Structure 1
Amino acid sequence: MRILPRSIRTRDTLIAAVLAVLVLGITAVGVDLAVRATVKADLLQEIQVAARRSSGGVRDGSLVTPIPDDTGGRILVQVVGPGGHVLDATPAATGRPPVSRLWPSSTVRVRDYVECRGEWPRRECVVIEAIRATTAPDSVVVYAWEPLPSYLVSGLLEVLLGTGVLLFAALAAWITWHVVGRTLGPVAAIRAQLAEISASDLSRRVPQPSGQDEIALLARTANATLDRLERAVGRQRQFASDASHELRTPIAGLRANLEDASMHPEDNDLRAVVDSALRDTDRLESIVTDLLLLARIGTGASAEESIDLAEMAAAEIARRTFALKIRTDLAGDVVVRGVRMQLVRLLGNLLDNAERYADGIVSVEVTSRDGHALLAVTDDGAGIPVADRERVFERFTRLDTARSRGAGGTGLGLAIAREIAHAHGGTLRIEDRDHGTRFALRLPLHT
């Protein structure tokens, strides 16, 4: 069985109210006891003066009748004999029966106490000091007393304190209800927005409050997660779109060649058909491999490590065989953080592109500038017009003239290179150059 309510707002309000009642209740009990003790002590101090003055007068025979009263009847004094008869009293106490039947013994001659009579709401309580004048068996007893205030007798003090506890507890609950409501308001807005976001529209974001508190951080984290989800779904859709678009032509050509060879085997060279089919299959395999790589980039599936760009570039250049002249300018100690296989693929794609379109020289440079690592690959070819410098990074984009489909490749190399750069927090751009093309990769330095 669930004890606490499901709502955080209701639960916090209930807890605040209970804690307020406990704390304020304990405080109220302390206040009640303190008020009673203080009032009783003040009254007792006053009646002790009157009782001891009258007791002294009894012992030395100087007490006059009636007993003088300078309090206006507020403090009453009686001198009572052993038989319970009132022998003397202040004017206000004259004619009254003895205030108390308690008779101090000869060993404990002074007694201070509170005595009550009657039933609520007419109950009366008095603070009494009883003094046995002497130790003689027939000694008289002097009683001095003063009534307790009615608010201590009737329970009014407790009622007021209890009402105060309930009012302050209700105020604490009201404040908690509104504060928690305002605090959780952004959470409700975030929940409502998340409930409306569907796979068909991932562009929406949850409201993001200002500040650096937990709710603001939650909203930022939720939006960052939605960003990653949108990119992942976008990659998935792009993959499906690219695959359906780019694979259709080679598959159709492969099928047409095979059907023609099957229907007219006497008119076809079997070896030529097989060679053509293998070329189409190789192209299909390259396209699928590149599309899968594009889909995986930035997903966090690969482990990162510290990479010296100069060492990586030198190793990749030494591994390859170039038909052109290669110039290198590799500065040491240029370290970045990333996935080695992806950065090697990025450099390989840039080298493939440069070698494909260079006239005779390919240059590779590694250095650091303005807190970033720079890896540049330059060719001395025909160059790329300014208007096309961004378009070449689009998938399956090939420019006219020298940079044509006939030059080979799947049309995904530069798109893959830029995706890898972005996944590593960097940029890949084509920089201005008088002759040829210069691809510049900038990544954050790792220290």
Structure 2
Amino acid sequence: MKDQPNAMAGRFPGLSSKLIATIIGVILLVEIVIFLPSVASFRTTWLEDRLQVGVVAARVLDAVPDVMALPRDLTDRLLNSAGAHAIVYRREGQSQLIELTNPVMPDTVVTADLRQGDLPSRVWGALDTLVAPPGRTLRVVGEGDLNESLVELLMPEAPLRRDMFDYSRSFALVSFGIAAVTAFVLYVLVSRLFIDPVLRVTRNMLAFRKAPENASLILIPSRRSDEIGILERELADMETELFSMLRQRRHLADLGLAVAKINHDLRNTLSSAQLLSDQVATLDDPKVQRLAPRLVTTLDKAIGFAQAVLDYGRETSIVPQFAPVNLRTLVDDAAFDARVAGNPLIAFDNGVDASLMVEVDAGQMGRVLVNLLKNAREALEAVPGEAQDFRIEARASADPERTVITLRDNGPGLPPRARENLFIAFEGSARSGGTGLGLAIAREITEAHGGTLAHVDEGQGTRFDITLPVRRTEG
């Protein structure tokens, strides 16, 4: 396995940093949503305070018969206390004005009507004040303390804008403080409940991946009953099963290597014994002539078993090399190799369409067909009694998704014991002395092609279906 040293570089580049950033981001987003109506309320309150000074000035105007008779220093103090350049008082269709001794001529005048109390208008007004260029003059309009009276103030916008920026800075500092404290508290809680267990599981997976045969690295699950607890227990069970499987696989690999060596030498020895038995069979001694066939048959079985074991180890480790193959030709070649084609006791019918092409490894898929046809031939030849009308047929059907190859014979069928152990090496043989490797090899080759090999019970005879997916080339 390839090591990944940077998979767990530290705590903060992973879930922890994302968690902190998410918490702070959400809190700041909430603070921004709160800030807009808050700064709008601050602006409204600030303007209402200035307007109250204008209301006081309006009362003074009401109390004086002639506004022009008011001392200039008094009117200037009233205006300076409101921060205004001029105050207009309107009542019963009449207007009264007081202004500074040295009037200021505004360049740009923006109206702030405090009679509009809806939130969108207030928020828009606050944003307009914050982003407005300097030098503007506000015309503040509000109701007086008497019925149907209005008070208007003309004042520079700069003091309001300055106070709003001061308020915004204070709000931002408080917001960042709240976000930092909240994020820290939530981080500590979430880390204890979620992040630390996830990091523990992740580190265990990375460590176990490097040394899956080290039993001390198997995760010890906690007593949690939530999803993380389930994850820990399932991971511990999986690591335990994988540990046992790898140990068993290693032992089987070592054993298989030893058996393969022994099997190879045994096959050579049996081949030599077979040559000797063939020479012995040529002798004229009656006893030798009677015993020699049995000796030859026994040696043939032993050699066949040794060869089957070697083939089983070799075939299951080769990756299929896919190429377009004519299926009818492949079936004909397999029938010849399995000694089915031309067999005097068995009629073979290849009903596969001559134009049907499949994309398979011709050598491996031919081995599958040979094993199935050979099993069918041996089953029919083992039927006791006189020769019967034995028959083996091959059929194929195809659609845009898959190709199904059917091999069927009209023999006695599979015995119950063979059906129970189909496709299990050394156990799935239907005849005495068989290894059961043929079907095991056939199934593994078919699965390596992405397909399935299945026995179909039709009540009479034996039928196997090979289902192969249609391979599509990308692009």
State the AA in 1 paired with 2:415.
P
Aligned pair in 2 of structure 1 residues 440, 182: CA closer, same or farther (>3 Å)? same
Which residue is 1:386 aligned to? 416
Does residue 251 of structure 1 match 2:268? no
Does residue 431 of structure 1 match 2:449? no
Aligned partners of 1:349 and 1:414 also within 8 Å: yes
Which residue is 1:443 aligned to? 467
Which residue is 1:171 aligned to? 182
Which residue is 2:437 aligned to? 412
Aligned pair in 2 of structure 1 residues 63, 308: CA closer, same or farther (>3 Å)? farther
Aligned pair in 2 of structure 1 residues 326, 226: CA closer, same or farther (>3 Å)? farther
For 2:61 and 2:409, the matched residues in 1 are separated by 123
State the AA in 2 paired with 1:366.
R
Shift of 1:440: 0.9
Q: What SS is found at the alignment partner of 1:330?
A: coil
2:425 to 392, 395, 403: 395
Identity rate, percent: 17
Shift of 1:441: 2.3
For 2:417 and 2:271, the matched residues in 1 are separated by 39
Deviates more, 1:181-190 or 1:221-230: 221-230
Aligned partners of 1:20 and 1:169 also within 8 Å: no
1:39 to 36, 45, 50: 45
Stretches of structure 2 that go unaligned for 5 or more consecutive residues are 1-8, 86-98, 110-138, 140-154, 222-229, 281-295, 382-386
Aligned pair in 2 of structure 1 residues 43, 304: CA closer, same or farther (>3 Å)? farther
Aligned partners of 2:392 and 2:409 also within 8 Å: yes
Aligned pair in 2 of structure 1 residues 367, 54: CA closer, same or farther (>3 Å)? same
Q: Deviations over 1:153-211 (max 9, x none)?
A: 9x99976774455335543554566567548856744654675583388xx9999xxxx
Which residue is 1:302 aligned to? 320
For 2:239 and 2:357, the matched residues in 1 are separated by 29
Greater relative CO, 1 or 2 (CA 8 Å, sep 6+): 1
Shift of 1:429: 2.4
State the AA in 2 paired with 1:106.
N
Q: Deviations over 1:260-313 (max 9, x none)?
A: 9xxxxxxx979969xx9x9999975664233121244xxxx3355677755643
Does residue 377 of structure 1 match 2:407? yes
Aligned pair in 2 of structure 1 residues 249, 323: CA closer, same or farther (>3 Å)? same
For 1:426 and 1:230, the matched residues in 2 are separated by 28
Stretches of structure 1 that go unaligned for 5 or more consecutive residues are 65-78, 91-97, 113-128, 130-143, 208-215, 261-267
Aligned pair in 2 of structure 1 residues 418, 390: CA closer, same or farther (>3 Å)? farther
Aligned pair in 2 of structure 1 residues 222, 295: CA closer, same or farther (>3 Å)? farther
Aligned pair in 2 of structure 1 residues 320, 388: CA closer, same or farther (>3 Å)? closer
Map 1:231-310 → 2, pairs under 5 A:
238=252, 240-242=254-256, 244-245=258-259, 248=262, 251-252=265-266, 254=268, 287-296=309-318, 301-304=319-322
Which residue is 2:102 aligned to? 106
Q: Deviations over 1:49-88 (max 9, x none)?
A: 4446757987935768xxxxxxxxxxxxxx554xxxx699
Which protein is richer in helix relative to its size?
2
For 2:82 and 2:456, the matched residues in 1 are separated by 111
Q: Deviations over 1:309-338 (max 9, x none)?
A: 556435644787634131233368988775
For 1:164 and 1:61, the matched residues in 2 are separated by 49
State the AA in 1 paired with 2:54.
Q
Shift of 1:427: 3.2
Which residue is 1:352 aligned to? 374
Aligned pair in 2 of structure 1 residues 26, 50: CA closer, same or farther (>3 Å)? same
For 1:206 and 1:330, the matched residues in 2 are separated by 57
Which residue is 2:14 aligned to? 8
Aligned pair in 2 of structure 1 residues 235, 412: CA closer, same or farther (>3 Å)? farther
Aligned-pair Cα RMSD in Å? 6.2
For 1:28 and 1:250, the matched residues in 2 are separated by 83
2:446 to 401, 412, 421: 421
Aligned partners of 1:17 and 1:173 also within 8 Å: no
Aligned partners of 1:367 and 1:374 also within 8 Å: yes
For 1:418 and 1:35, the matched residues in 2 are separated by 78
TM-score with structure 1 length normalisation? 0.53
Aligned pair in 2 of structure 1 residues 196, 166: CA closer, same or farther (>3 Å)? same
Aligned pair in 2 of structure 1 residues 385, 16: CA closer, same or farther (>3 Å)? closer
Q: What SS is found at the alignment partner of 1:431?
A: coil
Aligned pair in 2 of structure 1 residues 27, 179: CA closer, same or farther (>3 Å)? same
For 1:188 and 1:331, the matched residues in 2 are separated by 59
Q: What SS is found at the alignment partner of 1:440?
A: strand
State the AA in 2 paired with 1:431.
D
Q: Deviations over 1:234-261 (max 9, x none)?
A: 7775555445346536625756998x9x
For 1:418 and 1:425, the matched residues in 2 are separated by 9
Which residue is 1:327 aligned to? 349
For 1:230 and 1:375, the matched residues in 2 are separated by 38
Aligned partners of 1:309 and 1:336 also within 8 Å: yes
Q: Deviations over 1:392-439 (max 9, x none)?
A: 633345868xx344xxx87522220122234434233263544xx514
For 1:189 and 1:27, the matched residues in 2 are separated by 38
Does residue 365 of structure 1 match 2:394? yes
Aligned pair in 2 of structure 1 residues 385, 28: CA closer, same or farther (>3 Å)? closer
Aligned pair in 2 of structure 1 residues 223, 162: CA closer, same or farther (>3 Å)? same
Aligned pair in 2 of structure 1 residues 61, 421: CA closer, same or farther (>3 Å)? closer
Aligned partners of 1:329 and 1:365 also within 8 Å: yes
TM-score with structure 2 length normalisation? 0.51
- The structure having more radius of gyration, on CA atoms, is 1
State the AA in 1 paired with 2:19.
T
